[in-house]
Amino acid sequence: MPQTRNVAVLVGSLRKDSFNRKMAHALAALAPEALKLEIVEIGQLPHYNQDDEANPTAAVTAFRQKVAGMDAVLFLTPEYNRSVPGVLKNAIDVGSRPYGKSVWSRKPAAVMSVSPGAIGGFGANHHLRQSLVFLDMPTMAQPEAYIGGASDMFDEAGAFRKPETKQFAEKFMAAFAQWIERHAAAG
pLDDT band at 187 (very low <50, low <70, confident <90, very high): low
Amino acid at 169: A
Residues 6+ apart with CB under 8 A from 115: 19, 78, 79, 121, 124, 146, 147, 148, 150
90: number of Cβ within 10 Å: 17
What domains can you pick out in the chain, each with its CATH number? 5-186 (3.40.50.360)
Is the bond preceding 116 in cis, omega lying within 30 degrees of 0? no
**pLDDT tens digits, residue range 28-46?**
999 999 999 999 999 999 9
Q: How far apart are CA 161 and CA 184, in angstroms?
A: 34
**pLDDT tens digits, residue range 42-84?**
999 999 999 999 999 999 999 999 999 999 999 999 999 999 9
SS (H, E, C) 144-171: CCEECCHHHCECCCCCECCHHHHHHHHH
Looking at the chain, list the stretches that DSSP marks H as alpha helix, in order from N- to C-terminal side: 19-30, 58-68, 86-96, 122-134, 163-186
Q: What is the pTM of this model?
A: 0.96
